[in-house]
Copies of this chain bind each other. A is one copy, B any other.
Amino acid sequence: MAMSRLVCVGDYEQYAEHNLPNAVRQYFNSGANYEQTYADNVAAFKRYRFRPRYMRDMSERNLTTSLLGHDVTSPIGVSPMSMCRLAHPDGEVALAKACESEGSCFCLSMAATSSVEEVGQAAPGCTRWFQVHVLKDRDMMRRMVQRAQRAGFTALVLTVDCAVHGKRYKDLRNQFSLPPHLKLSNFEEELKRAKSVVATGQSKEEWGRFVNQAFSPAHTWQDIQWLKSVSHLPVVAKGVVTAWDALEAVQHGADAVWVSNHGGRELDCLPATIDALTEVCQAVGDKTEVYLDGGVRSGLDILKALSRGARAVYCGRPALWGLAKDGEAGTSDVLQILKEELSVGMALAGVKDVQHVPTELVVHQSFYSAL
């Protein structure tokens, strides 16, 4: 498919849909079970309407903000995603470099195909966070966290929404696994150092199983304290979709809350993230930073999330689609498009500063069905 000009995230999605190998495409662009949440994340944004304030001097808009005290020039970060080298040989390193140049925060997945060290070295100016799962082996987990801290990662993002792995039918049908030429770099480095049990020559399939079994379903909110005891980094709870858990997270020491449903990849039938955002912000948003990812496909989606209480917005697949198209340059272009669309949206809606997007800017469509 020849696409001369990719002007929006949708174009990048189309590109990826038509150009990635089948199993990779399905690994990226799918959700758990019948993919209700995967679809609803995108659909839900369309259920909200803008109520702009016109005729204000919009010559200047501010997109700069701070995340846990670190300045970023864009409120649009990149979500942690495993195995990004499937999309492009440069993988997470390219994502980090794109974030560096666009002023975005980059969150590296524990299950990445690039290590914290590689990323730290390649994009030293990038605000970078490290996403962790609770591991059965606490020593390994501590070492990995401390390596991230040494590599200049400034926050830990604890994923709370996958005690076990969700059922992704497409991956099951494809018997999807990491291809032999790639490695889960954070684990591999860890194992090399620790001279661990895993013998050389182990096949990739065994690897996959090993890593999967490494994750502990016995995680609890106390693990936030544990993370704080092994590093001095702030901890973000990623995957919160209810007020209940937002409060739990904060009461157990979380420094920020990340509204996410894992892009619809774990528990299906969760609320769409923009739907869940409101109650989370009402519960903890006055004192705690709240972020959102899931279904963001345009700068206007971002503006909606900011209005409903998010301090920043992350995107997963859009960054991957850019990566698939052109490596770092592709992701940069996607991040630029989103930033530009956000900026235009702010100008059109009468919003001058991403740090002050009024709640009244956005209403649910049901606002307009009253008799």
Contacts and interface: CB of A to CB of B under 8 A. Distances in A.
Contacts of A348: 161-164, 166, 266-267
A245 B44 CA distance: 27
A352 to B, nearest CB: 11
Given A54-B161, A162-B348, A173-B5, A300 B369 contact: no
Interface in A165-180: 165-167, 169, 172-173, 175
A7 B220 contact: no
A59 B267 contact: no
Given A5-B172, A217-B58, A366-B369, A271 B241 contact: no
A218 B5 CA distance: 31
A-B CB proximity, top 3 nearest? A267-B348, A7-B172, A275-B368
Nearest to A6: B173
Interface-centre pick from A33, A165, A271 (highest chain B CB count, 10 A): A33
Interface-centre pick from A164, A270, A340 (highest chain B CB count, 10 A): A164
13 contacts: A7-B167, A7-B173, A10-B169, A11-B169, A33-B300, A46-B269, A51-B241, A52-B161, A58-B164, A272-B368, A364-B370, A365-B369, A366-B370
A107 interface: no
Contacts of A220: 55-57
Interface in A327-371: 340-341, 344-345, 347-350, 363-371
Interface-centre pick from A55, A162, A220, A223 (highest chain B CB count, 10 A): A55
Contacts of A275: 368
Given A49-B270, A50-B270, A275-B368, 7 more contacts: A5-B175, A8-B33, A8-B172, A11-B169, A52-B245, A55-B160, A58-B219
Main secondary structure of the interface of A (DSSP, over half): loop
Contacts of A46: 34, 36, 269
Nearest to A3: B173
A187 to B, nearest CB: 22
Number of copies of this chain in the oligomer?
4
Contacts of A345: 267
Contacts of A218: 57-59
Interface residues of A, number: 80
Contacts of A242: 51-53
A271 to B, nearest CB: 5
Contacts of A276: 368
Given A33-B300, A300-B33, A344-B166, A271 B58 contact: no
Given A34-B298, A366-B369, A217 B347 contact: yes
A57 B160 CA distance: 12
A34 B57 contact: no
Contact of A59 (B217, B245, B270): B217
A240 interface: yes
Given A34-B10, A58-B218, A268 B5 contact: no
A42 to B, nearest CB: 10
A172 B4 CA distance: 11
